Structure 1
Amino acid sequence: MLRGPVYIGDYAKVEAGAEIREHTVVGSNVVVKSGAFLHKAVVHDNVYIGPQSNLRGCVIGKNTDIMRAARIEDGAVIGDECLVGEESIVQGNVRVYPFKTVEAGAFVNTSVIWESRGQAHLFGTRGVSGILNVEITPEVVVRLAGAYATTLKKGATVTTARDHSRGARALKRAVISALQASAIDVRDLENVPLPVARQQTARGSAGGIMIRTSPGVPDSVDIMFFDERGADLSQAGQRKLDRVYARQEYRRAFPGEIGDLHFPSSVFDSYTGSLLRNVDTTGIAESGLKVVIDASNGSAGLVLPSLLGRLGVDSLTINPGLDESRPTESADTRRSGLVRLGEIVASARAAFGVRFDPVGERLSLVDERGRIVEDDRALLVLLDLVAAERRSGSVALPVTTTRIAEQVAAYHGTQVEWTTTSPDDLTRVGREETTIFGGDGRGGFIVPEFSSVFDGTAAFVRLVGLVARTQLTLSQIDARIPRAHVLRRDLATPWAVKGLVMRRVVEAAGDRHVDTTDGVRVVEADGRWVMVLPDPSEAVTHLWAEGPDDASAQALLDEWSSVVDSAGH
């Protein structure tokens, strides 16, 4: 909505749902996202104004980024090339000098002149993430890839890959040229599922880089760094990369040392061949199972042709084509996709349906009646199947998983090894000899006999084999597992008080049992528990609680939310 008089410059983009009120000046090449509100604001060229942000009577210098839900009040002036983080508040008449960062959730009431209030970490939970061409530009990507190359030996090989979006395609080219210019040989897989990129990286590369659209956020990208085993870069590796990037000490090759670029062939055949050699597929061909597979227009569909024929299962594949305009999906599209899949499964009388995420890393299930098996239930169903067949060994699960998983594992003579919520910790346990299964309860499954990382395709093959051999339907297995009641809540917490929050939680726990595998988990005498975990990359604290029913879990969340809030005020 525009209400004049306003001035809007050339090539500016104002999304539907933004409100620009009288006496506002918007320069050229400015992006104003949906839900933003501007009144009497003067915005110079090349500024990004995020969704739900609120600017009144302020001046914003050129090339500055105002992130989601930031509030800038009357009389404030933000200099050139600044970054104002999500949900931060800059009070009236405050001056933020050029090249400064105001961190997410900060409340700024004095001018920021010398010190930058930025966060020091490049890495979030999924690698380096940010809005395409706002936070993650080709220049940033070249510097990142140069820093990564500098941590490796000259002449080493790095495998690169991407999802099917245009942004990832453009940025991967920047990665490749930066790596070659730093004396690194590159094996470029182009568009492949994430598990295939990891597996190929583990075949003789010093590391890998995958660029993909952030799940559920179509205008953001994640740059994921892999180690020589194809797993996410360890915390130590991330810190090393962080250091080189911050100091900008890049190693450049001499002209005679520029790296080579290869495009390996038959990547999918070697992946499926290795998968079928390592995962038990006995009984599938004889079972006459019929399954429906939704490739959700993503790269998982690229592996299916070479897999399904050799698997010997009667299958129907829907949405196999790549759609570069939809490299990720919102929760709503995912949900409606699952509902549609359920209808097809029920009418085709199939044993079950699976739906891959766009990069083939995660898997969602629909039972034979066409009902959606929620992600946390799907974890228990697969756990039950694997444990019943193996009857020994251990299962890797994050500490936020329902304790019913312990009952299911123990019933079949296996035990649970609890890990932190970070995927690299699950991967570490997934590599251990005794591990028979791993999962995160959000559609990520580890099939240790094949690889120690999340792999949707491997989980699918494992599931088909298990169902073929047990002769039970998914709804029968689901029905014999008790219901779990784990609830989750996220609270905004300024960076400055994160340490204080954890101290408060430990104090409030008193003499109750406290587990500090990850964050702080407080266990009540009757087995109810709550877990408080500060987010490593955002100004947020996550809470999980489990009780015998939803109401008791909700009560626990309320009780501990007030403990967390009290530290923030």
Structure 2
Amino acid sequence: MSSDTLDPANLEAIFKAYDVRGTVPDQLDDELARLTGTAFVLVTGAPTVVVGHDMRPSSPGMAQAFAEGATRAGADVVMIGLASTDQLYFASGHLGHAGVMFTASHNPAQYNGMKMCRAGAQPVGKETGLLEIRDMVALHATTGATMVSDDVTPGTISEQDVLGAYADHLLTLAPVRGRRLKVVVDAGNGMAGLTAPVVFDRIGADQVELVPMYFELDGSFPNHEANPIEPENVADLQKRVLEVGADVGLAFDGDADRCFLVDERGRAVSPSTLTALIAARELAKEPGATVIHNLITSRGVPELVAELGGTAVRSRVGHSFIKATMAETDAIFGGEHSGHFYFRDFWRADSGMLAALHALAALAESDGTLSELLARYERYPASGEINSTVADQAAVLRLLEEQYAGAEGVELDHLDGLTVTHADWWFNVRASNTEPLLRLNAEGKDEATMTEIRDAVLSTIRSN
């Protein structure tokens, strides 16, 4: 008899647009991980799979179960153990194997999940195999259909440590040289607590003084949620930066694929600003290159890219869309306002640590403070992402479209939700894939303009 986790309704719920995510053990357990391992190999045809996992208590067991399922389908498995998600992507690219990372990223302790990729860190999302994997597991669970014939020779499981090679590779892409910096790093008890010490050791104490915060790996997140996009989760870092007189603070999410900055004044830096900084550095390396930005990134990013002679291309929100667009355009870099940063030289994968190294490298090469360095990249006030609980998301989106369609100087598009653009402002409203929420992002030419459009749109959203 199948466990409840294999119920088709549960599988429908936890297989998302570009990963698997749910609560343990009611939505996700070892049995589901084992069957997913088998289905992953059968759908992708991967001869070898790299498996990594984060510090959540359920992660090692699920990773082992997935490996057993993958070997049952004939694939060999390379276990890299505790890892950040970008370390798993590195292993996939460096070794040339498909991969899976067991993590629920920034989600609370009761969650876990799987992020999958083909060789070279190519994403596996709902349009590139994830739904086929789900359906194969569901078919087996509901009908007992055999997934693998008895004459398949099982693969082997081996172990390999790639952490040092990962750190070395990142520092070839963004070497930190120049004046010595004092850097506070808040790992949030997540995987940056493993990767940051190795990376910073290779930079050298003569170049960087590291002030660690919450480096102990603890999937219960005893200090704060490992989700730095929420202001309350960077409050400790902001305080510490001021206390020690640091040049910069870095905050990572639970699986360390996202990074957020705090400047020397203790002020949180917009991910759009960091996107612009990295875009400028990458365009200096390859003039005329293409840079991807998602549709909630500040309009200052495409403006800067154009000023520097590059080509800016707009994308939907989400790593599978960004990576696909990067592949289509051969873009050198891509940035999302959520704190994900993608690099062509890193197999088009996202890496919070590589983004952090770009910021440190730029700061070490400069004579001023971080806030002075970033001033040219901060152009427009933004609302940040504001979530509202809405019973009928589609109805509210239709109402907003009716309100703004035909207004003077206004353009509408539906690349991802509803985006309304004016010369002086823009806003985007998108429905959550997993919750009854609408997400609003707004930006204006000045604070008053941004506040006015933000409040007008929120009034419509929250009165329905």
Question: What SS class does the counterpart of residue 102 from structure 2 fall into?
Answer: strand
Q: Partner of 1:529 in structure 2?
A: 426
After superposition, residues 501-540 of structure 1 pair within 5 angstroms as 502-511=397-406, 512-524=410-422, 526-540=423-437
Q: Partner of 2:209 in structure 1?
A: 315
Question: What SS class does the counterpart of residue 463 from structure 1 fall into?
Answer: helix
Structure 2 CA distance for partners of 1:128 and 1:100, relative to 1, 3 Å: closer
Structure 2 CA distance for partners of 1:131 and 1:550, relative to 1, 3 Å: farther
Unaligned segments of structure 2, at least 5 residues: none
**How many angstroms apart in 2 are the aligned matches of 1:403 and 1:245?**
43
Q: Partner of 2:315 in structure 1?
A: 419
Matched, 1:268 2:163: yes
For residues 30-69 of structure 1, the C-alpha deviation after alignment (integer angstroms, 9 at most, x for no partner) is xxxxxxxxxxxxxxxxxxxxxxxxxxxxxxxxxx9xxxxx
Q: Partner of 1:185 in structure 2?
A: 76
Tell me how far 1:493 sits from its aligned partner. Answer: 4.3
Q: Partner of 2:67 in structure 1?
A: 176
Amino acid at match of 1:337: D
For residues 144-164 of structure 1, the C-alpha deviation after alignment (integer angstroms, 9 at most, x for no partner) is 3333233133x7111111101
After superposition, residues 539-558 of structure 1 pair within 5 angstroms as 539-550=436-447, 552-558=449-455
Tell me how far 1:197 sits from its aligned partner. Answer: 0.4
**How many angstroms apart in 2 are the aligned matches of 1:203 and 1:502?**
44
Q: Is the 8 A contact 1:345 1:369 kept in 2?
A: no
Match of 1:469 among 352, 357, 365: 365
**How many angstroms apart in 1 are the aligned matches of 2:366 and 2:178?**
13
After superposition, residues 430-445 of structure 1 pair within 5 angstroms as 430-431=326-327, 435-445=331-341
Matched, 1:392 2:392: no
Q: Is the 8 A contact 1:129 1:214 kept in 2?
A: no
Q: Partner of 1:56 in structure 2?
A: none
Tell me how far 1:368 sits from its aligned partner. Answer: 3.1
Amino acid at match of 2:261: L
Structure 2 CA distance for partners of 1:287 and 1:389, relative to 1, 3 Å: farther
Q: Partner of 1:360 in structure 2?
A: 256
Matched, 1:139 2:37: no
Q: Is the 8 A contact 1:300 1:356 kept in 2?
A: yes
Amino acid at match of 2:20: V
Tell me how far 1:329 sits from its aligned partner. Answer: 2.9
Tell me how far 1:450 sits from its aligned partner. Answer: 3.2
Match of 1:459 among 355, 373, 389: 355
**How many angstroms apart in 1 are the aligned matches of 2:363 and 2:285?**
11
**How many angstroms apart in 2 are the aligned matches of 1:448 and 1:344?**
37
**How many angstroms apart in 2 are the aligned matches of 1:318 and 1:528?**
39
Question: What SS class does the counterpart of residue 119 from structure 2 fall into?
Answer: coil
Question: What SS class does the counterpart of residue 259 from structure 1 fall into?
Answer: coil
Tell me how far 1:210 sits from its aligned partner. Answer: 1.1
**How many angstroms apart in 2 are the aligned matches of 1:387 and 1:404?**
15
Q: Is the 8 A contact 2:366 2:373 kept in 1?
A: no
**How many angstroms apart in 1 are the aligned matches of 2:30 and 2:11?**
21
Tell me how far 1:460 sits from its aligned partner. Answer: 2.3
Q: Which has the higher helix share?
A: 2
Tell me how far 1:191 sits from its aligned partner. Answer: 0.5
Tell me how far 1:425 sits from its aligned partner. Answer: 1.6
Structure 2 CA distance for partners of 1:206 and 1:324, relative to 1, 3 Å: same
Structure 2 CA distance for partners of 1:193 and 1:149, relative to 1, 3 Å: same
Tell me how far 1:323 sits from its aligned partner. Answer: 3.1
**How many angstroms apart in 2 are the aligned matches of 1:461 and 1:148?**
33
**How many angstroms apart in 2 are the aligned matches of 1:355 and 1:565?**
32
Q: Partner of 2:237 in structure 1?
A: 338
Match of 1:219 among 110, 122, 129: 110
**How many angstroms apart in 2 are the aligned matches of 1:546 and 1:401?**
9
Larger radius of gyration: 1
Q: Is the 8 A contact 1:342 1:371 kept in 2?
A: no
Q: Partner of 1:300 in structure 2?
A: 192
**How many angstroms apart in 2 are the aligned matches of 1:344 and 1:444?**
28
Structure 2 CA distance for partners of 1:150 and 1:436, relative to 1, 3 Å: closer
Question: What SS class does the counterpart of residue 80 from structure 2 fall into?
Answer: strand
Question: What SS class does the counterpart of residue 373 from structure 1 fall into?
Answer: coil
Matched, 1:149 2:41: yes
Pick which of 231-240 and 216-225 moved more: 231-240
Matched, 1:408 2:304: yes
Tell me how far 1:372 sits from its aligned partner. Answer: 3.4
**How many angstroms apart in 2 are the aligned matches of 1:502 and 1:333?**
29
**How many angstroms apart in 2 are the aligned matches of 1:288 and 1:489?**
38
Question: What SS class does the counterpart of residue 477 from structure 1 fall into?
Answer: helix
Structure 2 CA distance for partners of 1:532 and 1:483, relative to 1, 3 Å: closer
Q: Is the 8 A contact 1:129 1:223 kept in 2?
A: yes
Tell me how far 1:547 sits from its aligned partner. Answer: 2.5
Unaligned segments of structure 1, at least 5 residues: 1-63, 65-80, 84-98, 102-117
After superposition, residues 22-421 of structure 1 pair within 5 angstroms as 120=12, 122-124=14-16, 127-153=19-45, 156-204=47-95, 206-236=97-127, 237-248=129-140, 249=145, 251-254=147-150, 257-265=153-161, 267-277=162-172, 279-281=173-175, 284-312=176-204, 313-319=207-213, 320-326=215-221, 329=226, 331=230, 334-346=233-245, 350-383=246-279, 386=282, 392-421=288-317
The two structures, once aligned, show a CA RMSD in angstroms of 3.4
Q: Is the 8 A contact 1:341 1:366 kept in 2?
A: no
Structure 2 length-normalised TM: 0.83
For residues 302-340 of structure 1, the C-alpha deviation after alignment (integer angstroms, 9 at most, x for no partner) is 334443344342322414442344385364763233124
Tell me how far 1:414 sits from its aligned partner. Answer: 2.9
Tell me how far 1:383 sits from its aligned partner. Answer: 4.2
Structure 2 CA distance for partners of 1:290 and 1:555, relative to 1, 3 Å: closer
Match of 2:382 among 485, 488, 504: 485
Structure 2 CA distance for partners of 1:318 and 1:185, relative to 1, 3 Å: same
**How many angstroms apart in 2 are the aligned matches of 1:562 and 1:295?**
37
Structure 2 CA distance for partners of 1:469 and 1:250, relative to 1, 3 Å: farther
Amino acid at match of 1:191: L
Q: Is the 8 A contact 1:428 1:452 kept in 2?
A: no
Amino acid at match of 2:209: S
Structure 1 length-normalised TM: 0.69
Q: Is the 8 A contact 1:122 1:242 kept in 2?
A: no
* Number of equivalent positions: 447
Question: What SS class does the counterpart of residue 103 from structure 2 fall into?
Answer: strand
Tell me how far 1:401 sits from its aligned partner. Answer: 1.2
